[in-house]
Structure 1
Amino acid sequence: MDTIEVKGSIRLGQFLKLAGVVEDGATARIAIQSGDVDVNGHTELRRGSHLRDGDVITVHYPDGAAADIAVKAID
């Protein structure tokens, strides 16, 4: 599992861009609204959902693969 460090608060769409999972906000919106992104094991359909330290984001790819990425908050 990869871990991405973030300063302060971050929204799900921004996090996906920071992690390099998507190229832009439009692609993040499509992935999230398609149900391809889980936060802590639950499908998240809101791009603006706030993430917290320790959250685990799972991205499901069209080929059936999945990637887990953890949020690490730093001060």
Structure 2
Amino acid sequence: MSVVREVSIRDETIRLGQLLKLADLIDNGADAKPLLMQGLVFVNGELETRRGRQLVKGDVVSLGDDAVRIA
């Protein structure tokens, strides 16, 4: 896995689909569902399939070789 990038959010939480777009891991929100269904997205090292999962600061989301930490 490559270096984990920090991504800042405005609020206390953010939904997984929103974070993937904010972090430029996907081009638009519709791209999230197929990736999640294929088992390609992990949150804190665990497989995640819910686009609406609430994330908080400190969570690490990975997609392939890309990883981001919520700051």
In the superposition, the TM-score normalised over structure 1's length comes to 0.85
Query: How much has 1:15 moved relative to structure 2?
Result: 0.2
1:11-65 superposed Cα distances (whole Å, 9 cap, x missing partner): 00000000001011111111112110000000000000000110000112xxxxx
Q: Does 1:43 align with 2:62?
A: no
Specify every segment of 5 or more residues in structure 1 that has no aligned partner in the other structure, as ranges: 61-65
Counterpart Cα distance in 2 of 1:45 and 1:23: 18
2:7 paired residue number: 4
Counterpart Cα distance in 2 of 1:3 and 1:35: 23
Aligned length: 67
Specify every segment of 5 or more residues in structure 2 that has no aligned partner in the other structure, as ranges: none
Counterpart Cα distance in 2 of 1:24 and 1:67: 17
* 4+ aligned runs moved over 2 Å, structure 1: none
- TM-align CA RMSD: 0.7
In the superposition, the TM-score normalised over structure 2's length comes to 0.89
Counterpart Cα distance in 2 of 1:27 and 1:3: 21
Richer in strand (by share): 1
